[in-house]
Chains A and B, each alone.
Chain A
Amino acid sequence: MLNPELKLNTKIFNEDVERESIRKGFGLGLLQAGEADKNVVALCADLKESTQMQLFAEKFPKRFIEVGVAEQNLVTIGSGMAAAGKIPFCGSYAIFSPGRNWEQIRTTIAYNNRPVKIVGSHAGITVGADGGSHQMLEDIALMRTMPNIEVFSPCDVIEARKITFKIAKTNKPAYLRLAREKSPIITTEETPFEINKAQIFWMPDVGIAQVGIIATGEMVYYALLVAKELETEGIKTKVMNLATIKPIDKDATITLAKECKAIVTVEDHQIAGGMGSAVAEVLTQNFPVPMEFVGMQDKFGQSGTPDELIEHYGLGVKDIKEAVKKVLKRKTS
Chain B
Amino acid sequence: MAFLSDEKIKTLQKKANDIRQSIVEMLVEAKSGHTAGALGMADIFTLFYFHILKHNPKDPFWEGRDKLILSNGHICPVLYATMAHSGYFPVEELKTLRKFGARLQGHPDRNFLPFLETSSGPLGSGLSQAIGMALADKIDGKDKDRFIYCFMSDGELDEGNSWEAIMFAGKRKLQNLITIVDRNNIQIDGNTEKIMPLEPLADKWRAFNWNTIEVSGHDFKSLNETVEKAQEMLEKPTVIVAHTIPGKGVKEFERDYKWHGIAPNKEQGEMALRELRN
Contacts and interface: CB of A to CB of B under 8 A. Distances in A.
B118 A112 contact: yes
Interface stretch (A82-90, A188-196, A231-239, A243-251): A82-90
Interface residues of A, number: 28
B101 to A, nearest CB: 18
Contact of B129 (A67, A77, A86, A111): A77
Contacts of B69: 80
Interface stretch (B25-33, B159-167, B209-217): B159-167
A107 B121 contact: yes
A34 interface: no
Contacts of A83: 117-118, 129, 132-133
A9 interface: no
Interface string B164-185: 1101100000000000000000
Given A67-B168, A83-B129, A113-B111, A72 B160 contact: yes
20 contacts: A68-B164, A72-B125, A72-B164, A73-B161, A73-B164, A76-B128, A76-B129, A76-B132, A80-B134, A83-B118, A83-B133, A103-B122, A104-B122, A104-B125, A104-B128, A108-B128, A108-B129, A111-B109, A112-B119, A113-B111
A126 interface: no
Given A76-B165, A83-B117, A84-B137, 16 more contacts: A41-B136, A70-B164, A70-B167, A72-B124, A73-B161, A76-B129, A77-B135, A77-B168, A78-B132, A79-B118, A80-B130, A80-B131, A80-B133, A83-B129, A86-B132, A86-B136
Interface of A: 41, 62-63, 65, 67-68, 70, 72-73, 76-86, 88, 103-104, 107-108, 111-113
B131 to A, nearest CB: 5
B93 to A, nearest CB: 22
Which secondary structure dominates where chain B touches chain A? helix
B64 to A, nearest CB: 13
A261 to B, nearest CB: 42
Given A78-B132, A81-B135, A83-B129, A104 B161 contact: yes
Interface size class of B (residues with CB under 8 A): 20 to 34
B120 interface: yes
Contact of A80 (B110, B129, B164, B167): B129
Q: List 9 tightest A-B contacts by C-beta distance, closest first.
A: A80-B132, A76-B128, A84-B136, A73-B164, A80-B129, A70-B164, A81-B132, A72-B161, A77-B132
Contacts of B128: 72-73, 76-77, 79-80, 104, 108
